[in-house]
A and B are shown apart, each in its own frame.
Chain A
Amino acid sequence: MAKEGKIVKVSGPLVEALGMQEAKMYDVVKVGEQRLIGEIIRLSGERAYIQVYEETEGLGPGDPVFLTGEPLVVELGPGLLDSIYDGIQRPLGRIREEIGDYIGRGLTIHALPRKKKWNFKPLVKKGELVKEGDILGKVEETPLIEHRVLVPPGINGKVESIKGGSFTIEEEIAKIEKRPIRMLSRWPVRNPRPFKERLAPVVPLVTGQRIIDSLFPVAKGGTACIPGPFGSGKTVVLHEIAKWANSQIIVYTGCGERGNEMADVLLEFPKLKDPKSGRPLTERTILIANTSNMPVAAREASIYTGITIGEYYRDMGYDVALMADSTSRWAEALREISGRMEEMPGEEGYPAYLGTRVASFYERAGRVINLGSKGVEGSLSVIGAVSPPGGDLTDPVVQQTLRVAKVFWGLDDRLAYQRHFPAINWLSSYSLHLRNIEQYLKREINEEFPKLREMAIEILQREAEVLEIVRLVGMETISKEDQLLLEVARSLREDFLHQNAFDEKDAYTTLPKQYQMLRFILLSHDLFRGLLNKGIELKRILTLPIREKIARIKYVPEENLREFDQLEEELRREVKGLK
Chain B
Amino acid sequence: MKKGDSLLKMVISLGVITCISAALLAWVYSITADPIKQAEREKQAEAIKAVTPVYDNDPIAEEDDVMPVGEPAPLAVFPARRNGNLVGAAVESYSSDGFSGEISVMYGFDINGNVTGYEVLNHTETPGLGDKMDEWFRDSLSTQRNIIGKDPAKTDMKVSKDGGDIDGITAATITSRAFLDALRRAHNAFIQYRDSEKR
Question: Are A and B physically bound partners?
Answer: no
